[in-house]
């Protein structure tokens, strides 16, 4: 009998305990009911803190439901539930303690909690403590984003607690870095802060520099003696850092000196005291000079009718009695000294990285110019033909790539097909141009220029008739998407890297053709002395045709490469024809090494000017043209001159 009574008492106690446990979350919510219903960013903080401080494991779900606007309140009793809408329009209510279904209710019996963006941000910060150890790596990563957006001293301890247990290497690295940054800003131990700063000294991350900047923030303090604070420097009034006028304005703002009377305020006071055509006994008609107005104003001051003017001597006397100090908001000198050294090291590395990034940009632009100019180096440099339609061969190559992609959806395969096909198309077009037009105009540069310019206009119009005036896409393969990020400052897109490699391959191919093939041997012979070459059995007419076709074909391949990152339109060739001619002329007519050097010079000079004047790329091109004009005055045959027909011998 006693055993039965004990069992009955235990069962009743357990039932009471279990019942209490199933309402713990609801009890906490009800204790903060007023603040939750108001849901204002300015007042919701204590309610969110109470939910987190409860330590209940369900609170993570509660906060997530609240943040997602899925939490509802029953109007009848004010209880909170998670609600989902049914097909019949009714809402199923689920307990926030157990997740079990409680009942159903109509929408008119419920109020949806709709936290604004500010409240949702505060909830996200509160969720961090739960999400840092969440089994889902996505939620752990989101928690780090929330911390970085709204860091605080209270989040440092939870972040540290969940670093050692992290299994994902990427998230572990992010947690460790964020912990170091927050240690610098919020740790109460000076030694720990200094150690974190020294550990990351010279880091290139923007977040690192953004963490150091508040530590090194200063305020300007006015004092007769050095204040008992972490002084950054004393600023002398009248120096470049603190002008005399600004120093006195600081005194006025602090209430330590009278306001200067401006000319406008003086004249207003004079006008307000006109009586019978006079001001303090001075006829108004005589107050036409500044000196006379000052004298009249001083008379008003003597009669207590205006505030006294502040003279230069008054300003000097006021400034002589005070000193100006820039004081760190950070009280620890050790921390600010470490932060200054770390920031200086970081800025040095940033400057070096920016120079490297600029060099990569210049190299990338040079490779583009080289690709565009290498075909012209053959037709103009070797043959001496001014082909104004060279840009349109680039355009034809780009459109060839576009047409191939219409029939071959695989972008990698389409590019592999487009490169040789573009060469074939533009080679044939170049041969046709040489046979029909250019061959009749050799040694007549002006007529050649005009004829090929007419051909370029015709080709542009033909492209407009076929493809329209809108830009057409030439999509790069997926493996060329993105960029190679060397660090937080230096990066280069994979397309630019591919174009650079392609330029090197074409350079090697051109050198091989000119040095190791019969066509190259015959071309060099015709270039040096066409009559002697003809007497040795070489057909100059055939060599000129193949050489012109080769230069045009290479321009077509360049068009495919350029079209991967530039707009493909009928006018795209016009964007590169001028740079191509400048590259060939500056490098040295008829010399492939000169073309390479010319591309490097023009690309580097243009990027350098754009870096100094980033808001005006047109100015950069103008300065580049001026530079080239001056350069040609001193080296009219370019960087590497070539003797022979193309050089004017």
* CA-CA-CA-CA torsion sign (565, 567, 569, 575): negative
pLDDT of residue 642: 55
pLDDT of residue 216: 92
Q: Calculate mean pLDDT across residues 340-358.
A: 90
* Same domain, yes or no: 508 and 524: yes
pLDDT at residue 643 greater than cutoff 60: no
* Same domain, yes or no: 59 and 43: yes
pLDDT at residue 6 greater than cutoff 50: no
pLDDT at residue 402 greater than cutoff 70: yes
Q: Calculate mean pLDDT across residues 336-341.
A: 93
* Same domain, yes or no: 95 and 197: no
The tokens for 446 are: 């002006």
Of 351 and 616, more confident: 351
Which of 19-28, 30-39, 491-500 is predicted with the least confidence, judged by mean pLDDT? 19-28
Q: Calculate mean pLDDT across residues 310-325.
A: 85
Most confident of 14-18, 135-139, 527-531: 135-139
**What φ, ψ does residue 492 adopt, rounded to 5°?**
-150, 135
Is position 344 within any domain? no
* Same domain, yes or no: 114 and 143: no
pLDDT at residue 57 greater than cutoff 70: yes
Residues paired with 91 in a beta bridge: 85, 105
Helix intervals (H) in 377-389: none
Which range of residues forms the domain containing residue 303? 219-328
The last residue of one of the domains, among 199, 215, 231, is: 215
Calpha distance 380→390 (Å, rounded)? 10
* Same domain, yes or no: 201 and 235: no
pLDDT band at 382, cuts 50/70/90? Answer: low
* Same domain, yes or no: 140 and 82: no
The model's pLDDT over 533-568, given as tens digits with 9 standing for 90+, comes to: 788 888 888 888 888 888 888 889 888 988 888 888
**What φ, ψ does residue 382 adopt, rounded to 5°?**
-90, -45
pLDDT band at 340, cuts 50/70/90? Answer: very high
pLDDT of residue 103: 87
pLDDT band at 23, cuts 50/70/90? Answer: low
Which of 172-176, 178-182, 251-255 is predicted with the least confidence, judged by mean pLDDT? 251-255
pLDDT at residue 8 greater than cutoff 50: no
Is position 189 within any domain? yes
Q: Calculate mean pLDDT across residues 198-221.
A: 90
The last residue of one of the domains, among 189, 215, 241, is: 215
pLDDT band at 180, cuts 50/70/90? Answer: very high
pLDDT of residue 20: 42
Is position 342 within any domain? no
pTM recorded for the entire structure: 0.67
Domain at 457, CATH number: 1.10.3470
Is position 334 within any domain? no
Residues paired with 555 in a beta bridge: none
| DSSP symbols for 605-620 | HHHHHHHHSTT-HHHH
Is position 48 within any domain? yes
* Same domain, yes or no: 199 and 69: no
**H or E segment and range at residue 222:** strand 218-223
Calpha distance 613→602 (Å, rounded)? 16
Residues paired with 72 in a beta bridge: 81, 112
3-class SS of residue 371: helix
**Cβ atoms within 10 Å of 278's Cβ, excluding its own:** 15
Calpha distance 459→79 (Å, rounded)? 76
The model's pLDDT over 270-288, given as tens digits with 9 standing for 90+, comes to: 888 888 788 878 888 778 8
Is position 307 within any domain? yes
pLDDT of residue 14: 36
Find, among 362, 376, 364, the residue nearest to 577 by Cα.
376
Do 331 and 215 touch, CB atoms closer than 8 A?
A: no
pLDDT band at 590, cuts 50/70/90? Answer: low
The last residue of one of the domains, among 69, 96, 119, is: 119
* Same domain, yes or no: 224 and 211: no
* Same domain, yes or no: 209 and 237: no
pLDDT band at 470, cuts 50/70/90? Answer: confident
Backbone torsion region of residue 73, taken as left when φ is above 0, otherwise alpha when ψ lies between -120 and 50, otherwise beta: beta
pLDDT at residue 13 greater than cutoff 50: no
pLDDT band at 176, cuts 50/70/90? Answer: very high
Mean pLDDT for the chain overall: 83
pLDDT at residue 238 greater than cutoff 70: yes
pLDDT band at 614, cuts 50/70/90? Answer: low
pLDDT at residue 15 greater than cutoff 70: no
CA distances from 519 to 190, 314, 508 (A): 75, 90, 16
Q: Calculate mean pLDDT across residues 91-118.
A: 86
Q: How many domains does the chain have?
A: 4
pLDDT at residue 645 greater than cutoff 50: no
Is position 420 within any domain? yes
pLDDT at residue 648 greater than cutoff 90: no
pLDDT of residue 2: 46
* Same domain, yes or no: 93 and 206: no
* Same domain, yes or no: 379 and 475: yes
Is position 177 within any domain? yes
pLDDT of residue 537: 80
* Same domain, yes or no: 451 and 427: yes
């Amino acid at each position: 009998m006693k055993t039965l009574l004990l069992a009955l008492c235990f069962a009743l106690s357990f039932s009471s305990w279990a019942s209490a446990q199933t309402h713990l979350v609801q009890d906490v919510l009800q204790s903060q009911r007023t603040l939750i219903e108001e849901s204002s960013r300015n007042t919701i903080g204590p309610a969110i803190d109470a939910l987190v401080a409860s330590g209940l494991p369900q609170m993570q779900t509660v906060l997530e439901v609240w943040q997602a606007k899925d939490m509802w309140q029953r109007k009848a009793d004010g209880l909170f539930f998670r609600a989902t809408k049914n097909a019949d329009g009714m809402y199923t209510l689920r307990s926030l303690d157990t997740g079990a279904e409680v009942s159903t209710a109509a929408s008119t019996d419920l109020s949806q909690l709709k936290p604004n963006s500010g409240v949702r941000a505060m909830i996200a910060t509160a969720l961090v403590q739960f999400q840092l150890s969440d089994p889902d790596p996505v939620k752990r990563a989101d928690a780090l984003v929330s911390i970085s957006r709204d860091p605080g001293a209270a989040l440092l301890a939870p972040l540290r607690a969940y670093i050692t247990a992290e299994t994902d290497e990427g998230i572990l690295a992010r947690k460790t870095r964020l912990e170091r940054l927050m240690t610098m800003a919020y740790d109460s131990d000076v030694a720990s802060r200094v150690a974190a700063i020294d550990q990351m000294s010279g880091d290139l991350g923007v977040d690192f520099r953004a963490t150091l900047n508040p530590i090194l923030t200063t305020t300007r303090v006015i004092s007769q003696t050095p204040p008992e604070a972490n002084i950054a420097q004393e600023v002398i009034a009248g120096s470049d850092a603190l002008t005399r006028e600004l120093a006195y304005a600081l005194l006025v703002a602090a209430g330590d000196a009278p306001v200067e009377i401006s000319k406008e305020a003086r004249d207003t006071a004079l006008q307000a005291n006109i009586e019978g055509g006079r001001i303090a006994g001075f006829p108004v008609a005589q107050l036409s000079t500044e000196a006379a107005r000052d004298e009249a104003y001083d008379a008003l001051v003597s009669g207590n009718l205006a505030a006294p003017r502040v003279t230069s001597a008054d300003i000097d006397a006021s400034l002589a009695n005070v000193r100006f100090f820039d004081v760190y908001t950070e009280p620890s000198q050790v921390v600010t000294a470490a932060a200054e050294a770390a920031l200086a090291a970081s800025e040095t590395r940033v400057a070096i990285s920016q120079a490297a990034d600029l060099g990569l940009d210049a190299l990338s632009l040079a490779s583009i110019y080289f690709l565009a100019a290498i075909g012209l180096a053959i037709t103009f440099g070797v043959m001496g033909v001014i082909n104004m339609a060279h840009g349109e061969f680039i355009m034809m190559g780009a459109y060839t790539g576009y047409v191939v992609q219409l029939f071959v959806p695989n972008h990698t395969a389409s590019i592999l097909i487009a490169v040789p096909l573009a060469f074939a198309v533009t080679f044939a077009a170049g041969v046709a141009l040489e046979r029909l037009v250019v061959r009749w105009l050799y040694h007549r540069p002006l007529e050649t220029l005009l004829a090929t310019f007419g051909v370029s206009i015709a080709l542009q119009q033909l492209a407009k008739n076929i493809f329209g005036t809108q830009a057409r896409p030439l999509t790069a393969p997926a493996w060329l998407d993105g960029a190679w990020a060397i660090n937080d400052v230096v990066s280069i897109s994979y397309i630019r890297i591919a174009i650079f490699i392609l330029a090197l391959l074409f350079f090697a191919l051109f050198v091989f053709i000119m040095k190791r093939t019969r066509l190259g041997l015959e071309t060099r012979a015709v270039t040096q002395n066409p009559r002697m070459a003809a007497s040795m059995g070489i057909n100059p007419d055939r060599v000129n045709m193949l050489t012109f076709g080769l230069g045009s074909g290479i321009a077509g391949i360049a068009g495919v490469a350029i079209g991967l990152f530039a707009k493909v339109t009928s006018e795209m060739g016009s964007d590169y024809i001028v740079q191509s001619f400048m590259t060939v002329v500056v490098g040295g007519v008829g010399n492939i090494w000169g073309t390479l050097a010319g591309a490097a010079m023009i690309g580097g000079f243009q990027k350098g000017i754009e870096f100094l004047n980033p808001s005006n790329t047109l100015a950069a091109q103008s300065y580049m043209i001026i530079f080239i004009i001056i350069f040609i005055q001193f080296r009219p045959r370019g960087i590497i001159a070539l003797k022979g027909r193309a050089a004017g011998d």
